[in-house]
Structure 1
């Protein structure tokens, strides 16, 4: 067995893998405000005032998540149609910038992967938000 070569970048450049662990946590995720049932909108308005996090406070969660609702803190909600069949794609996975994990996507955004609910063999769509 040979010794692997040393990394070509310094640790502080973020190119060297760091030891970490994944801890699953069940959270309740909600759709964007316009998709909320009318009876929940007053509580949403209270939450926005309490946290100061803006219009997308209920879907903009720190860390990574499987499924749930996409965030729309930069744009209005939009639909991603499947390139193969035209069906509205659904959110599969989100990698969000987060101080706790040290993950930064773009300029503190999110990497989102959307998939076709009709056929998993159809191409996925990646979105930086």
Structure 2
């Protein structure tokens, strides 16, 4: 994540938790730590994790909550490609393309992509 992405993430967290958000003007080292620890983390996943945290907790998130691996997270580009692969397999098997329904955990998973 970039500094700007971390700043937006912290702004959203602070808006969701105005009573427990850290005072970054008095403690700029907190922001610097978040920038350092999230530098190699995907911004979309961090935002999704923050949204989950907001739904589940009444306290300002820790870095670990933002960086946790989401079991359900699938990169949108990978999901789109998996749908395309599944559709190609469906049609190649002689099925009607109009009847295709994507079911991510069915059938042969060998060709499925992962992040």
Please say which structure displays the higher CA radius of gyration: 2
- Greater share of strand: 1
TM above 0.5, yes or no, is no
Q: Which has the higher helix share?
A: 2
TM tier relative to shorter chain: under 0.3
